[in-house]
Structure 1
């Protein structure tokens, strides 16, 4: 395992100052000067490595935020669509990747981490089951709605109403167009 960064081993207030300068977009030389001005004994290369790593982490975080925003927007627009069905599967993959990473680690897994992962997997399974039940209910409701629309159409036609009037009734009362 790699050694901890020299900058990361500095006192918390110095690391926080360094992180703030990185977020502000300051150069390595500016950050080095600021740290040395605060009494830190670090080399330019150590600051450079820390800044590079921090910026890569920030970029990954920003990308994750952008991806999450797209998914959330899609989910809000169509909560029962493909994205809604995909999210539990994505959570399942993340859980199993976490388990795999725990297995490959040299350190033993913390009991709390294992417990949280087990709970997450159980919750994902429960979500998938609930989602299937909801989809079955929706299919049944759609079938009932189509049958009701057909009954209304037959009754209206038997009463002598025109095709346009029948279509208006279906649209107004049932919210179903001609394609029902």
Structure 2
């Protein structure tokens, strides 16, 4: 027997009450305590409904915790990996999160082609902006190297110093 896709809590109770239930779940209240409280407010909800809702809620909380950890790991990787910028790490996290969001929906038929297209367009736009930024930085570095080489051609810089300057300029890309 498969679990219900929509619980009474999400379909019948107002959002403010759902939020209060979420808080009670995070506070560690038992399903029975929450059920009694909801029923005392005049709503007819079973302990099983609260249990299903609570299970889904805690699973989503765990997913958020994992995503937070993944994002922290991406940020650490960006610090340690010269080829992965913070922008790339953030884009990777957003794209992964968006795809997971679509995959975790109860009913994939709810995902419209338009939503998916918009998400892909945003991802592509971010990638293009990143490439444009990197190309601009490379162009500026090339200009800086030319300026240094011109200054060095006058004999004011020895070849070893010129090489070190070039490495520093290109190393920041």
Quickly name the TM-score band, shorter chain normalised.
0.5 to 0.7
Q: Which residue of 1 aligns with 2:6?
A: 4
State yes or no: 1:154 paired with 2:158.
Answer: yes
The root-mean-square deviation of aligned C-alpha atoms, in Å, is 4.4
- Between structure 1 and structure 2, the one with the greater Rg is 1
TM-score (normalizing by structure 1): 0.61
1:51-103 superposed Cα distances (whole Å, 9 cap, x missing partner): 1110111111122223324434665x5897414374376268549948x869x
For 1:24 and 1:95, locate their aligned partners in 2 and report how far apart those are by CA, in whole Å: 27
* Cα 1:23–1:119 shift into 2, 3 Å: same
* Cα 1:67–1:32 shift into 2, 3 Å: same
* Cα 1:2–1:36 shift into 2, 3 Å: closer
* Cα 1:109–1:138 shift into 2, 3 Å: same
Q: Which runs of 5+ in 2 are unaligned?
A: 169-173
Q: Which runs of 5+ in 1 are unaligned?
A: 156-165
* Cα 1:3–1:64 shift into 2, 3 Å: closer
Q: Which residue of 2 aligns with 1:82?
A: 84
* Cα 1:2–1:141 shift into 2, 3 Å: farther
Which is bigger in relative contact order (C-alpha 8 A, separation at least 6)? Answer: 2
For 2:65 and 2:29, locate their aligned partners in 1 and report how far apart those are by CA, in whole Å: 18
Q: Which residue of 2 aligns with 1:161?
A: none
Q: Which residue of 1 aligns with 2:142?
A: 140
Residue correspondences, number: 159
The Cα of 1:120 is off from its aligned counterpart by 0.3
| CA contact 2:9–2:49 (8 Å) conserved in 1 | yes
